Structure formats: structure tokens, C-alpha cells
């Protein structure tokens, strides 16, 4: 029973509020973790698509073939025998493709054979880049 002028929370009210806040945090944290992983995958997929477009532009501007060698841990970009750059693949991901010898070749016109680059995490498909026939435009698809 409260007396006149008495203010504050009872111990039961404080414990109940802490319990509800803890329950809400326990429910929200796994969802936030999944959102963070998804955002990381999306950023990597977009970066990879940008690198593929850059290789295509380099082939056209240099008027020579530009090749991408898709290794599980990195992508090597070559113009003829000269290595232009290496693009690392984050440790948690691995690349696989249906390109012969895991090699994507952009002709001096920018054209390329169509195909798919798959991004795997723990051998599970988490995303893919579909490179369209002839135009060479990459289309990124994020798996749920």
C-alpha cells in the first residue's frame, strides 16, 4: 500500500520489465544476425558483378581479350599473359561455375559466353551471378 507522496517502482515491476526486455532481445538478435549475413552476401555479390562489368569494359577499351580465372578463393583478371588484378573471395565463401576451366573470356567486342558463377558457403548455394549470353551483363541473384 502506497502512502501519499510515495513514488517509484516496486521490485516486481522492475523484474517484470527486465524479463520482457530480455525476451524481446532474445527474439530480435538472431533475426538481426541473419540480416547482417544477408547484407554481407549482397555486398560481395554486387562487388563481383561490378568487377565483371569492369573486365568487360577493359576488353572493349583495350581492344583485346580479358580473361577472368575463377578460383575458389580468388578471381584473377588477365589481359593476354599480363595479370591486371586479383580479387579476393571472403574466407566464408567459395566460387564455382559452369565455365570450361572456370575461365570467363571477354572478347575485344565485349561479348562473352553466357554462364553462371555460384557462391557457396559451407557447400550451400547462397547466391549466383548469371552472365547473359553475348551482352555479358551480370545478373545477381541472392538465395534466401
Distance CA 114, CA 134 (A): 7
Does residue 93 fall inside a structural domain? yes
Order across the sheet with 124-131: list the strands.
94-97, 115-121, 124-131, 138-142
Residue 127, domain member (yes or no): yes
- Assign residue 58 the CATH number of its domain: 3.55.40.10
Tens-digit pLDDT profile for residues 1-48: 556 666 788 888 889 999 999 888 888 877 777 777 888 888 999 989
The total number of structural domains that make up the chain = 1
Whether 5 is in a domain gets the answer no
Element spanning 121, H or E:
strand 115-121
Please indicate, yes or no, if residue 122 is contained in any of the structural domains.
yes
Q: Is the pLDDT assigned to residue 70 strictly greater than 80?
A: yes
Could you list the residue range(s) of the whole structural domain that residue 136 is in? Answer: 11-142
Is position 3 within any domain?
Answer: no
In this predicted model, what pLDDT tens digit does every residue of 12-23 receive, in sequence order?
Answer: 888 999 999 988
Tell me if 22 is assigned to some domain: yes
| Residue 21 located in a structural domain | yes
| Contact present, 97 and 118 (Cβ < 8 Å) | yes
Residue 6 counted as domain residue: no
Q: Taking the CB of residue 110, how many other CB atoms lie within 10 A of it?
A: 19
Amino acid at each position: 500500500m502506497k502512502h501519499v507522496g510515495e513514488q517509484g517502482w516496486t521490485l516486481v515491476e522492475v523484474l517484470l520489465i527486465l524479463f520482457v526486455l530480455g525476451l524481446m532481445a532474445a527474439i530480435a538478435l538472431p533475426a538481426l544476425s541473419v540480416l547482417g549475413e544477408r547484407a554481407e552476401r549482397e555486398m560481395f555479390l554486387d562487388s563481383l558483378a561490378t568487377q565483371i562489368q569492369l573486365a568487360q569494359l577493359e576488353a572493349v577499351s583495350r581492344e583485346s581479350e580479358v580473361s577472368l580465372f575463377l578460383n575458389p578463393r580468388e578471381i584473377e583478371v588477365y589481359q593476354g599473359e599480363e595479370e591486371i588484378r586479383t580479387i579476393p573471395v571472403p574466407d566464408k565463401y567459395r566460387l564455382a561455375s559452369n565455365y570450361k576451366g572456370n575461365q570467363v573470356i571477354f572478347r575485344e567486342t565485349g561479348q562473352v559466353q553466357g554462364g553462371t558463377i555460384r557462391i557457396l558457403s559451407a557447400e550451400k548455394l547462397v547466391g549466383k551471378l548469371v552472365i547473359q549470353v553475348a551482352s555479358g551483363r551480370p545478373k545477381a541473384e541472392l538465395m534466401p
